[in-house]
Amino acid sequence: MVALATGVTSAWLLFHKIDHSQTSITTQAIYQQKFTSNNAQNSLAEVTQNYLVLDFWASWCGPCIESLPYYQQLFNTFEQQQFTWVAVNQDANKANADKFLTEHNLQKLPVWFDQQAALSRHYGVSGLPTLLLLNKHRQVIYRIVGFKQSEKQSIKQKLIEAMELDKQEQS
């Protein structure tokens, strides 16, 4: 799946439920890998919450400029004990990402810098922005590729539905 950006204000938006059997973490290396980070947690193994949201973005990505502030606001409305949200930067140069975060007043975002694209390769990220919802086993249970302002409410609802469905499947 690919999100095609057509400028700062529009992008394709895809919602996709993921088959658990094809996405579970099988490599201990990716689970233990430490990423340069601006917060205390910097590996998948250190995240203890039931759900982890990985938001893949880059400073050169127009739709990312719109999605990051929205996702920051959205995830502040959920209980922190339930999940962790991490913005995973894909820039080859960390300085570009730092400049972007400063210019858009997003320095407090929890960011992992994935300059070698290890996480994006592992999870099959093929377009930016991509938002992945992972369950407690770090399996992808929902994927959103792209971002459209008009889909904000739908995004929130789809995430809630995915978490509820996962809870039912786990019990």
Domain boundaries, the chain: 47-170
The reported pLDDT for the residue numbered 99 is 95
pTM of this structure: 0.80
The angle at the Cα of 27, spanning 24 to 31, to the nearest 5 degrees, equals 85
Strands 111-113 and 140-145: unpaired
Residues of the chain with pLDDT under 70: 1-27, 81
The reported pLDDT for the residue numbered 27 is 56
CA 35/CA 32 separation, integer angstroms? 10
| Amino acid letter, 40 | A
The reported pLDDT for the residue numbered 61 is 95
Residues contacting 16, CB < 8 A, separation 6+: 1, 142, 143, 144, 145
pLDDT tens profile 49-83: 888 999 999 999 999 999 999 998 888 888 776 78
Confirm or reject CATH 3.40.30.10 for domain 47-170, answering yes or no.
yes
Query: 119, 109 in Cβ contact below 8 A?
Result: no
The reported pLDDT for the residue numbered 18 is 40
Mapping DSSP to helix (H, G, I), strand (E, B) and coil, where does residue 141 land? Answer: strand
The reported pLDDT for the residue numbered 3 is 39
